[in-house]
Structure 1
Amino acid sequence: MSTAVPELGTGIGYREPIHDIATDPGLVEWVEVISEHYMGTTGKRESIDSLLARIPGIPIVPHGIEMSIGSVGDDARWDAYLEELAAVVEGFDAPWFSDHLCFTRTSTAELGTLLPLPRTRESARHVARRARRAVERVGRPFLLENIAYHFSWGDELTEAQFVTEIVEASGCHLLLDLTNLTYNARNHGFDALDFIREIPYERVVQVHLAGGVEEEGTYFDTHSMPVPEPVWELLGAVLEFHRVPAVMLERDQRLDRTEEIAADLRRATDLRRATDLNRTADPRRATAPRREG
C-alpha cells in the first residue's frame, strides 16, 4: 500500500483535443483522467495501456464523478465500484485518487448530477466510514473535492464544519476546487478565505482551477473560460500558507483556444514558483491567510 503524497506540480485534465498541450513538458507535469472512462469488469486494461503508451512518463491521477460517496442503501453497488476503481488506480500506478463530496444516486435511481449532501453529523460519519473503506480497498491516498452547489438542505453544519468532521474522522485528504469555492461564496454570500481558514487546509493535496460563466447573477463552473482573477487571487492566498503538491487546470469546452489554455497553465506554474520563493525567503509567510481590515 502506497501512502506517500508526491509533489506533482502543474497539471491538466486530459482530453484528446488538447493532447499536444497535455504532453508538452514545458506546460504540463501531470494529467488527470476521469476514473469511469477506464472502468469495466477488468478495469479496461487495454484502454489504460493505450493511454500509458500515448503519454509515457507522465503521472496520471484518476478523478471520479460517479463514486457517490454520500449515497445510502447502495452497499453492493459501492463495493463493486471500489473493485473496479482499484484496478484503474493500480493500472495507472496513480499517486492518489479523488472524487466529489456529494451524491449522484439513490438506492433506486441514477441522478446524473453532483448533488450536495445534507450537512449533518450523521452524514459526515457515513462519508468518513466510506472514505476509510475506499483507502483500505484501493491502497492509495484518497482526496475529496468540494462541489459547486445551488441549494442546501437546512443543514446542521456549515460546509467548512462538515468537511472538517469528515477529514478528521477519516484521515482522507482534500482536493480544493477554488473555482467552486469562489462561485459558492458569491452565490451564497460567504467569505472564501473564511472557509479555507476553517478547514484542515494542511490536508489539501490538490487544487482545481477553472473558468465559468455568469447567468442572471448566478455563477456556473462550466470549465469553458479562462480562470478568473478572483480564483487566481485565492490560489495565491492558499499557496502563501500551504505548499500544495498539485495544481490542475480543468478545461472541457472551447478546447480549440489553445493559447488561452496554455496561458492559464503558465500562470499557475509561475504563481507556484513565486510563492515557493517567497516562502523560502520568509518562512513566517507560511501561516493561515488573514483578511485586512
Structure 2
Amino acid sequence: MPTTLPTLGVGLGHRVELHEAIMVNREAVDWLEIVTDRYLCRDDLLAELVALREHFVLVPHGLEMSVGSDGPLDLAYVDAVARVADAVDAPWFSDHLCFTRDNGIDLGNLVPTVRTAAKARAIAANAQRVQDRVGRPFLLENIATYIEMPGELSQAEMVRAVLDHCDCGLLLDLNNIVVNSVNQGFDAAEHLDSLPLDRVVQVHLAGNSDAAHVGGMLLDSHDAPVGDQVFGLLDRLLGQVASPPAVMIERDAGFSGAFDEIEADLGKAREVLARHAHTHTHAGPGSGAGSEATR
C-alpha cells in the first residue's frame, strides 16, 4: 500500500439509472465508484468507462472476489478486475470481506465467514495475493450480515486480524455498521471505535427506507437518504483519524427524483469533512504518521 493516496473528496456510486443526472450535475460529484463486475470482459462498456474517465476519477468496486472462500482464488476473475482497473487508471480497487462461492457454487450473496484467527490469516493471504497480482491498492469492505457466524473473534476483531496480516486498506461502510448493530444488538459507536481506523481509505454512506425494516431486521437497502446515525458515525470517525482520501454516497434503489436527495447528502458529507479539516494529516495504511495525502 502506498504511503500516500490521492484525496478524491466526496463521490457517488455510479448507477445506470443515475448516469444522466450525474452528467448534468457533474460539479456536485467529485469522483465515481463503479461496479467492477458490470464491465468484466465487456470491451464495449470499457469504452464507455474511458469516456466517463474524462470527467471523473473512477474507482472499481467488485462483488465476486470471494477472498473468504476456502478454495483457491479465481485468478481469471482477478485478472479481469485488473483489466478494468487498468482501463480507468484506478487509484485503488475494492471488494468485500466475505465469500460469495463455495465448492464452485455461486451463492448469489455476500456471506460472512467464520470469525477465527486462522480464517483471518487465510483471508489476508488471499487479499495480499489479489493486491500483488493487480498491482494497485486493494481495499476490503466490512459487510452487512443477517446471521451470526461462529468464532472466537468479534466482527471488529475479525476485520483487525485480517488487516494485521496484509497491507491492504479498509473500505469502511458506516451504514453496514448501523445495520449490523440493529440486527445483532451491539453499540454502533463502540464497534466503530474497535476497528482499525488508521487503515480506512474510503468510506461508504447510505440510507435505508422504512420498508427496509422487515420482521425485526434492518436490511441494507440503499434506497433512501443517508441516515443521521450514519452521519454521526462519520463525524465520530473524523474526530479520531484524518479525513480518509475518499467518502461516497451509495444509492441502489428508489431512484425516482433521487438526485436532489443525493446532492443534499453530498453536501452534508462535505460539511462533516469541513468541520474536521486540518485536525489531522493522513498517512496511508501501513505507513508512518505525518504523510499528507496528495490530490
- TM-score, normalized by length of structure 1? 0.89
**1:222 corresponds to which residue?**
221
- Once the 2 structures are TM-superposed, how far is the Cα of residue 278 of structure 1 from its aligned partner? 5.8
Amino acid at match of 1:218: M
Could you give the per-residue CA deviations for residues 44-63 of structure 1, whole angstroms, max 9, x where no partner exists?
A: 33322222214513100000
Amino acid at match of 2:79: E
Amino acid at match of 1:255: F
The alignment-based identity, stated in percent, is 42
Question: 2-side partners of 1:168 and 1:99: how far apart?
Answer: 18
Could you give the per-residue CA deviations for residues 112-169 of structure 1, whole angstroms, max 9, x where no partner exists?
A: 0001100111111110101110111011111000000011222221111111111010
Which secondary structure does the structure 1 equivalent of 2:225 belong to? Answer: coil
Question: 2-side partners of 1:236 and 1:68: how far apart?
Answer: 31
Could you give the per-residue CA deviations for residues 177-230 of structure 1, whole angstroms, max 9, x where no partner exists?
A: 000001111221212222222222110000101111222321111010111111
Which secondary structure does the structure 1 equivalent of 2:239 belong to? Answer: helix
Which secondary structure does the structure 2 equivalent of 1:262 belong to? Answer: helix
- Once the 2 structures are TM-superposed, how far is the Cα of residue 80 of structure 1 from its aligned partner? 1.2
**CA distance change for structure 1 residues 254 and 55 in 2, over 3 Å: closer, same or farther?**
farther
Q: How does 1:29-48 map onto structure 2 within 5 Å?
A: 29-40=30-41, 44-48=42-46
**CA distance change for structure 1 residues 3 and 106 in 2, over 3 Å: closer, same or farther?**
farther
**1:249 corresponds to which residue?**
249
Question: 2-side partners of 1:2 and 1:174: how far apart?
Answer: 14
Q: How does 1:86-105 map onto structure 2 within 5 Å?
A: 86-105=82-101
**CA distance change for structure 1 residues 25 and 269 in 2, over 3 Å: closer, same or farther?**
farther
Contact 1:128–1:166 (CA under 8 A) maintained in structure 2: yes
Matched, 1:17 2:17: yes
Contact 1:116–1:149 (CA under 8 A) maintained in structure 2: yes
Count of residue pairs the alignment pairs up: 275
Higher helix share: 1
Question: 1-side partners of 2:216 and 2:149: how far apart?
Answer: 22
Deviates more, 1:169-178 or 1:65-74: 65-74
Amino acid at match of 1:6: P
Root mean square deviation of aligned Cα:
1.8
Q: How does 1:1-80 map onto structure 2 within 5 Å?
A: 4-23=4-23, 24-40=25-41, 44-75=42-73, 78-80=74-76
Amino acid at match of 1:87: R
Amino acid at match of 2:265: D
- Once the 2 structures are TM-superposed, how far is the Cα of residue 171 of structure 1 from its aligned partner? 1.2
Q: Which runs of 4+ in 1 moved over 6 A?
A: none
Which secondary structure does the structure 2 equivalent of 1:86 belong to? Answer: helix
Which secondary structure does the structure 1 equivalent of 2:198 belong to? Answer: helix
Question: 1-side partners of 2:4 and 2:264: how far apart?
Answer: 31
**1:259 corresponds to which residue?**
260
**2:232 corresponds to which residue?**
233
**1:275 corresponds to which residue?**
276
Question: 2-side partners of 1:136 and 1:45: how far apart?
Answer: 24
Question: 2-side partners of 1:73 and 1:232: how far apart?
Answer: 38
Question: 1-side partners of 2:194 and 2:58: how far apart?
Answer: 30
Question: 1-side partners of 2:272 and 2:182: how far apart?
Answer: 24
Contact 2:50–2:87 (CA under 8 A) maintained in structure 1: no
**1:141 corresponds to which residue?**
137
Gaps of 5+ in 1: 281-293
Contact 2:174–2:233 (CA under 8 A) maintained in structure 1: yes
Question: 1-side partners of 2:173 and 2:247: how far apart?
Answer: 10
Contact 1:34–1:64 (CA under 8 A) maintained in structure 2: yes
Question: 1-side partners of 2:130 and 2:186: how far apart?
Answer: 32
